[in-house]
Amino acid sequence: MAKKTVDRCDDAPRRKRLEALRDDCRRHKRGAVALAQRRREVRGQDPELERPILAARTDDDEHDAKAFLDQLGEVLAEAPDLLERLGIESDRGGWRRSRRIAMEALLRSRTWRKVIETGATFLEGEEVPEVLCVTFERRSPDLVASIAELCDELLEVKPSAEARKRERVNPGALWHDAVKTLKLMRQAGQDPSDHEIAKALGVSKATFSRHVGSKSLWTDERAGTLASAKRQASRNPETWGDR
């Protein structure tokens, strides 16, 4: 029997753990605890990535935050498929204690921001290249809230690459729906872009452009010059030709 492809986080015990962790985090009433990591870059040297740190107002706040981190990390350490969704390699060695892997998962989507930049001035005549040190930081201001949000993300349905490959688009049906959506949105006083229409139809911008947006008939449709009789003659735009 062929092995069934798993498209979502449908392991029942794991789902229950993620749901319970999410709910506990949302009920949590202590002060916010920040999670931050810094990266130092010195010209001419490899970047230095510092260990993540917690910033809490009280020891009790930090204790609770660490407990939530440990719970998240225990789930992730046993779920290579979830780590893959987060863009984290699951086989990089024993340093991945549960708390560390949870911190990495939470910081993965945070933007690096420049926080410190220092320069060094050398005595005149010395043939030493200028040294510049720049420090960047990525930060989660409310760790517990971020864990709850990540749990929700991990519980969402995520089609596998194989399932996405199996998807097929009916060009005629997509065209019909695009025209209808354009009309309805304009009746509502909007002037939607192709990207907004594609999003409303649940298809990618590239798919919409390939089957609808790249055709001169769509330009006419947007301008209101396409005859409705021609549109109704066939639901396959490939048979219509370009005007």
Question: What are the tens digits of pLDDT across the range 223-242?
Answer: 875 444 344 444 555 554 44
Q: Last residue of a domain, which of 133, 162, 191?
A: 162
- Which one, of 183, 182, 243, 171, lies nearest residue 207 by Cα? 171
Give the DSSP letter string of 164-226: HHH----HHHHHHHHHHHHHHHHHTT----HHHHHHHHT--HHHHIIIIITSHHHHHHHHT-S
First to last CA, the chain: 52
Domain shared by 90 and 39, yes or no: yes
d(CA 22, CA 146) in angstroms, rounded, equals 10
For tokens 């999670």, name the residue.
35
Instruction: Kindly state the tokens that stand for 118.
Output: 């220092």
Same domain, 142 and 225: no
- Same domain, residue pair 32 and 120: yes
Give me the amino acid identity at 103.
Answer: M
Residues 23 and 99 in one domain: yes
Say if residue 18 is exposed, middle or buried (CB neighbours under 10 Å; 0-12, 13-18, 19+).
Answer: buried
User: CB of 52 within 8 A of CB of 103?
Assistant: yes
For the stretch 87-142, pLDDT in tens is 887 655 444 578 889 999 999 888 889 988 877 666 566 666 567 889 999 999 99
Which of 145, 162, 179 is the endpoint of a domain?
162
Q: What is the pLDDT of residue 142?
A: 93
Question: Which of 68-72, 81-85, 152-156, 204-208 is predicted most confidently?
Answer: 68-72
Average pLDDT, the chain: 79
Domains: count for the chain: 2
Instruction: Specify whether 80 is located in the same domain as 135.
Output: yes
Q: On the CB side of 32, how many CA atoms lie within 13 Å of its CA?
A: 9
Q: Same structural domain for residues 150 and 176?
A: no
- Is there a domain that residue 5 lies in? no
Distance (Å, rounded) from C-alpha 154 to C-alpha 11?
Answer: 12
Strand stretches in the chain, DSSP E = 34-42, 48-49, 53-55, 113-120, 131-140
DSSP reduced 3-state for 114:
strand
**SS3 state at 140:** strand
Band (pLDDT 50/70/90 cuts) for residue 20 is very high
Query: Where is 176: in which H helix or E strand?
Result: helix 171-187
For residues 164-187, one letter each, b for 16 or more C-beta atoms within 10 angstroms of the residue's C-beta and e for the rest, the string is eeeeeeebeebbebbbebbeeeee
Domain holding 185, by residue range, is 168-239
Q: Which residue has the higher pLDDT, 7 or 19?
A: 19
196 neighbors 226 (Cβ within 8 angstroms) = no
Question: What is the C-alpha R_g of the chain?
Answer: 26
Q: Which residue has the higher pLDDT, 72 or 85?
A: 72
118 and 221 housed in the same domain: no
Chain centre to alpha carbon of residue 21: 21
With tokens 């789902």, the residue in question is 15
pTM of the model: 0.58
Q: How many CA atoms lie within 13 A of 117 on its CB side?
A: 3
* Domain presence at residue 133: yes
CA distance 186 to 222: 10
146 and 198 share one domain = no
- Mark whether 61 and 153 lie in a shared domain: yes
